Structures are given as structure tokens and as C-alpha cells.
Amino acid sequence: MLGLGLVGVVLAGGAFVYGIWHYGRDLPDYNALAEYDPAMVTRVHAGDGRLLNEYATENRIFVPLKAIPQEVIDAFLSAEDKTFYEHPGVDPLGILNAVVINLRNLGGDRRPVGASTITQQVAKNFLLTNEVSIDRKVKEAILAFRIEKAYSKDRILELYLNEIYLGAGSYGVASAALNYFDKSLAELTLAEAAFLAALPKAPNNYHPVRRHQAAVGRRNWVIGRMLDDGRITPEQAERVRQEELVVHRRAASDTTSEGQFFAEDVRRVLVSLFGDDGLYQGGLSVRTSLDPALQAAADRALRRGLIAYDRRHGWRGPVGRFETAGDGATAGLPENWADDWAAKLAELPKPEGAGPWSLALVLEVGGEAATVGLPDGSQGRIPMAALAWARKTLDDQRVGRAPSKPADVLAAGDLVLVSPVEPEAAGEPVPEGVYGLRQIPNVEGGLVALDPHTGRVRAMAGGFSYARSEFNRASQAKRQPGSSFKPFVYLTAMDHGFTPASIVVDGPFVIDQGPGLPKWKPANYTNKFYGPTPLRVGIEKSRNLMTVRLAQAVGMEKIVEYAQRFGIFERDPRPVLSLSLGAGESTLLRMTAAYAMLVNGGKRIEPSLIDRVQDKTGRTVWRHDKRDCPGCGTPYEGGPPPKLPDEREQIVDPISAYQIVSMLEGAVQRGTGVRLRDLGITVGGKTGTTNDYQDAWFVGFSPDLAIGVYIGFDNPRTLGEGEAGSRAALPIWKDFAQEAFEDTPDIPFRRPDGVSLVRVAQATGRLAQPGDEGVIWEAFKPGTEPTSQTAYKALDPEPYAAYGVDNPYAPGALPYGQAGAAQGQQPGSPYQPLQVPPGAQQDQGRSAGQPGVQQPGYPQPGQQPDYQQQAPQPAGATAGGLY
């Protein structure tokens, strides 16, 4: 017997050693746990700290064991492995107990019970699969022994609590605490900690909402285990068992749903900086520049503006018909269709982009109103007053006759979008159940607001609805800026010897584009010529012909170079004259940033969505402001704060930039932006409209905020006759500005040192005289101020006598077709097509010593103009700006 026993022991030992060798030879390297780098959630925050978005393959927030409350640790130890700190990685008594339970369950359909310790679960979660088999359990046990020898108990527990999946997309206890209770670990109650400890076995079986009773029972079981282990008192156990299990969503004050286009652009930037793995697994903490209040105002203003434009251009019909809403059949309405509409209507999805509007079914059309059914089974009415706008839309954004009765717009069985009519919108009390007819605009647009001193983007709306299209019209759409480009033509001129009071002829201009191509004949929006005009008036009134002449005098190569200084174009455009009217392509974000560099005094900024990025350890790995601040890391003990150096590059003369800012302020006071004059705050800006009204812009600024608005169709086509920037885009700008500047004190634009302010007559650029009207303070560089002896005197009226013009400066004095023909060509005439100031570049083809551009020549009365041919424009070149 002794011999047999010894043989048996030897055989068993041999079998055990063989088993260890067999199962342990292909095991993963447990040393990988020493470099544990879990996938963690990247969290993106708005400028005020509210959560904007999260990106993760596994929603995990890593928390060191020393930062996890003891109650949470105790709950998990009692629920999962009460002898964790005593066993060597495997619990023999636990295994024996599991064997007994599994023997009892033989023949049943219950899942085998395991006896995994926390160390074994770490081995499984990190190094093995979830396969249910003896082989995996043996491998798990071998790895557990090895892990226990290599790492401390605290390290193993830390890995476990941060890796375990707890349902609701939560990996680790910290993420679960946020997702279930909107709390940090330190804020959890004992009952909440016990619930989390109840989840590792089967999170879906204990969902706190769908399986509430099972969840409460499992939580109370954990409490019982904690009581048995002596980790809590009977009083605590009884109190916790009586507590309700309540799930809390994240508070609205801690998150923001605004800025979806902004968040998507942030995501693209983060991918470019850190790659997909860095974004979705890196656990980054990102602080953006978004102002949620401004963003909400931007979204509202853009939506309202697009809706207002869309309603001006008519009704495109219902979103569907009731009989085709289900399976696409075209059969007519069944006789009893009105009996069971509610259930069917409730199943129909709303069109993307409908937002808060409801899908409704037209039940009946009467003489004064239409009756509609809502998805909840209730009914409402759309009165004729709410249908008055719904004229039939025609080609080229024209509209048909106004409807006279509801049947002109709707028919029974139509599926339409509606929303309750608010008393404020109606201007009078509105009975309950009255709805307005709604229509998702097919036009799109964008809005950007940024800090002109830093480039931080405060708000960005990229379209009517992110749900309908993720394409960002603020940052991705490349469109012609039209006349909103003109300030950079004038800026180049200011930097090359011109002043706001320099005189430029507003007269006809024609260029031969080459064989087989039509002549290029830009025109003013009004189709009139206004003769010699100061540059200030030219930009305030957006005169195309003055801009083209000025561009020719300065040189398009220089203008392109200045535009690139301001980052307007992604690539160098061809330096053709049509570019001066905005025929190039840019984005709204680029144009708004360029205007911001005007108002900040001509200093370069880069638009930025992100202020700072920190890695999972809190180390700053990227920041927008690269300046060093030696004193910022020390405790503040009073006195002035650390002064940061201004390292922004000066890209133009600050006085030139201020002159343009002053002229654009004049555009608001007297020109194309006059609708903003009643804002009650100092602003400047410029409209932009392209050929055939395909694009409408308004870009402007206050001293501390630059704002740009764009409207157009994604597939370019006309916005409709008269839909210029001042009508389509400016109202959106104003709507947003009213909210953005609501509590902002009015301050003037900041003047750089050296500006010389002189009182001049705005309409002529002459020194102000007693009795003059329209006198303004004009900005000049020292030495360029007008005097009584300069060419800013009144023009000799004699050459105009043949045309019956008494005052050549009067608006519209020279009607279309009689363009400056009154100009004489005699030497010394005070009326030359362009008075070129000293230092201005001379164009090729101009004879030395001649005071002005010799093209176009102006005929005597009754003669045809003799236009000098210039460098041909490229095929298909068009005038970019009309207004």
C-alpha cells in the first residue's frame, strides 16, 4: 500500500508538473501589466468648463487606488473576493464551493459557477478571453499565481477597478459613477457604491431602470456580504437597504449640447495632432474656446435667418403624403383613413433637420383653416394667417401668387411640419392648439464669431442642422467672398500712399479678355457712375468701378500678397483684376479672421478652436498660446499680474489698418451696412454679394469681437433677385450681435499712435469748411493730411456743362452711359481718372510724369469711349462683387 501510494503521489506530481508545463507554455507575458496603459475617454470641454463631447473606444477614466474611497473598495472586495489580501492568487475554498454548486446544477441549463478571484479576473480581462472552458480556468489560475508574485495586491486591485466593465458603456468604477449617478467616486453614497459592486457578474441583468427590482436585490446582497465581513454596521446595512436606487443623468449645467459643428471641427484637429488612437484611447482633456451662450445665440440667429430667407421664396410642398408614408405605395386614401391615423403617424420618423418641429397630418381643409393631427393623437388648426407666406416657389427663387384660401397650400392627407404659434411671434394672444406651417430650408449658411486679439473661435454654426449634414459651411465651404474682399484692396492702397480722402473716378471700365472672349465690363450695383469720389465713399457704398481702378493703380500682385498675409486664400490666386471684386475663393472662417486682423491693428492671429490639451496624467501636451510666462507658476501674493509679451507679427502698418476700420465703421453709419446703425454699439463691417446673387456675406466687428455670416446653396445657384448681402446675411449678423453685445459697454475702436485726425467733408474728402454738411473726422498718416493747396479742392465744373451737371460730386450726377465723359483731357485738368499720390506704384504703360492713369480715355460729348486694352482676364473671369 505504501508503495502504491508513493507511485500514486509520483504520478500525480508528474501529472501536475506536466499540466503546469502544458498549459503554461503558451501563456501571454504577464509582465505587460507593468506597462498598463488602458484606453481612456477623451473629454472635450467648452471654454466655461462644461462638457462638450467625449470620444472613446472604451469609456474609462483611470483613477489611482489611493484616490478610490474605502467604501468602494470594501464593496467590491465583499462582492467579488473577500479574501483577496490573504490568498496567493487562487482561493481553494472558493473553488471547492463552486464545484459543489456546479455538481448540484448538473443536467440543468444554468451557467456553471466560477470561483475566480480578483487576481484571476485581472488575468482574464487583460491576458485571456471570456471562453467558458476548463482550459481557460487552468490558464487563468497559472497566470494568477505569476501575477501575485510580480505585483503587489494594491496594484492588482487598482488594475481591476479601472478595467472592469460595469455596463452603460462604463469601463472602470470612475466612469460608472459618472454614467449612473453623475458623481465622482468621492461623492458616492454607500448604497451607490454597493450597486456598482453588484454589476461585474452581469451588468445587463441588473440594469437600474429596465430591471430595477433585480438591481435593488443584487445591491442589497452586496450590503449583506459587507455586513457579514464586518465592513459595515447593522445600522448602516438597514439604512442602505431602505434607500431608493435612483439613476441621475448629468446635470445640464455640467454639459452643453451646443456647437455640434464646432465639436466636429475640434475632433478633426485632434486627429491631425494625435491620431485616431490618441483621440479615442488617449484619455485627453481638451479645453476649447467655445462660449456656450454665444454658440446658442449663433445657432438661433442662423436658423432664424435661413428660415426667414426660405419663407421669402415660397412653399415647396408637403414632406409626404399619408398614403405613401408607410411602404411607398401610390394607392389613394382609403375610405376610413382618418380613423386610425394617430398610430401610423406616431411611427413615422421626422425629416432630418426638423428639430423641435412636429410631423403632422392634414385631416381637413376648410375655408379659414386646416385641421391637423399630431403624433400624440391630439389635433390642432393652421389658420389662413399662418399660411399667407406659402406662395408656390418657382424657378430662380421666384414665387407665385399669394394664397387666398388654405386649399391653395394644403390638401387632406398631406404630411407637413408644424409648431405651435407663440404669442410673441404673432404679436397678439394666440389660442391653444394653433399651429404654424414650417418648412426645412434648402439654403445653407454659416456663422463664425472669434476674438480678434487671440484668434479664439467663440462660436461656430456650420449650417441649419448638423443632423441633416455634417458639412461645415463656416470652415469647409469655399465660396467667392464678393465685395467683402474689397477692404483688402483698399488696405493695400493705404499702405502704398493713398488716403481715405484720395480721389478715384467712378466711371466705366472695360477690358478685352482676349480673342473670342467677351469684354469684361464690371458695373456698380446701381448701374450708375458717380464721377470722382473719395476712397472712403467708395468702400462705404461698395463701388465696384472705383475698386477695380484702385486695384489697377496699386497692382494686383501686391493685393494678392496682402491677402495672403491675412490668410484669405488657401493658395495663391491669379492676380487678375476680377479678384479685386472678390472672384477668388475663401472660407467664412478665413474671411472673419482676416477682418479680425484689421480691427486688432494689423497683427497676425491664427483662428483656433482649442486652448489647451492635457494628457491622462494632466501634463499639457499642446496649447494655442505658445508664450512663456515665468511668473504664472508661482503663488500669487498681490501686486500686478505677470505681463505676457505680445509676440504677434505686425503684418501691416497699424495706421493703415485703422483707416480701413474707420472706413468700415462708416459703411455701417452711411453705407451698405446702415441697418446696423441702431445696434447702439460701435461696429464696422462690409457686405458681399457675388454674380447672380449666388453668395451673400456680411463680415464685421466690434473692438473685441469679429463676426462673419455667409448664405448660399451647397450647389451654387442664385439666391434670388435682390438677395444681396445686406438683405440675406446682414440681418443674421444683426440678430446674433444683439444677443452677443447685450451687456457689452460701447467703446470706440482703438487708435494706434501717430494717427492724425482731420475734419473733412465726407462726400468730397476736402477740408471741412464752415457750412459743410457731412463733416467727419478722417484718419491720416502724418504728412498726408489734406490742405487748402492740395488737389482736394472742388473740381472745375466747366467740363460738365455739356451734360447739365452742376455738381459732379452729387450722388448719381453722372448717369449710366455718360460715365465721366465730361472729363477733359487737357493738361492740368483737375479731373483726372485717378489721382495717384506720391510713392504709389506706377502701372506699366503709363508715361513718366503723367499725373494719372491714362485708361480709359474719356471722349468729348457725343463720342464713343476709346478704352485702352489691358492684360486679358482668364477665360470665364467674372466680377466677384456687385454690392
Neighbours of 535 (CB within 10 A): 25
What are the backbone angles phi and psi of residue 423, rounded to the nearest 5°? -55, -35
Cβ pair 538, 525 in contact under 8 A: no
Is residue 80 annotated as a catalytic residue, yes or no? Answer: yes
- Per DSSP, 763 falls in state T
Angle, nearest 10°, between helix axes 134-150 and 153-163?
A: 130
Using CA atoms, how far apart are residues 83 and 372, in angstroms rounded to an integer?
67
Q: Any alpha helices (H) in 353-485, and if so which ranges?
A: 423-426
DSSP state of 173: H
Of 116, 175, 285, 483, the active-site residue reads 483
Give the relative orientation of helices 190-197 and 212-228 as an angle to the nearest 10 degrees.
Answer: 100
Residue from 371, 402, 398 nearest 387 by CA:
402
Whether 483 is catalytic is yes
Alpha carbon distance 696, 667 (integer Å): 17
Please tell me what DSSP assigns to residue 814.
Answer: B
List the end-to-end C-alpha distance of the chain, in Å, as a whole number. 112
State the Cα–Cα distance between residues 60 and 159, nearest whole angstrom: 12
Contact 119, 147 (CB under 8 A): yes
**How far apart are the C-alpha atoms of 446 and 708, rounded to whole Å?**
8
Q: What is the DSSP letter of 186?
A: G
Handedness of CA 427, 433, 434, 438 (dihedral sign): positive
Phi/psi at 11 (5° precision): -65, -45
The full DSSP string for 563-627 is HHHTT--SSPPP--GGGGGT-S-B-HHHHHHHHHHHHTTSB----BSEEEEE-TTS-EEEES---
C-alpha cell read off for 362: 392634414
Q: How many CA atoms lie within 13 A of 186 on its CB side?
A: 4
Strand partners, 706: 450, 701
Phi and psi torsions of 63, nearest 5°: -130, 125
Strand-strand pairing, 444-450 and 59-60:
unpaired
CB 482 within 8 A of CB 697: yes
C-alpha cell at 289: 474656446
Grid coordinates given for 511: 477690358
- Nearest to residue 519, comparing CAs of 819, 882, 870, 860? 870
Measured CA to CA, the distance from residue 152 to residue 169 in angstroms comes to 29
Q: How far apart are CA 406 and CA 384, in angstroms?
A: 6
Is 840 exposed, middle or buried, given 0-12, 13-18 or 19+ CB atoms closer than 10 A?
Answer: middle
Cβ atoms 662, 669 nearer than 8 A = no
Q: What 3-state class would DSSP assign to 97? A: helix
CA distances from 53 to 56, 249, 355, 454 (A): 10, 15, 20, 24
Catalytic residue selected from 71, 80, 140, 540: 80
Catalytic residue IDs: 80, 483
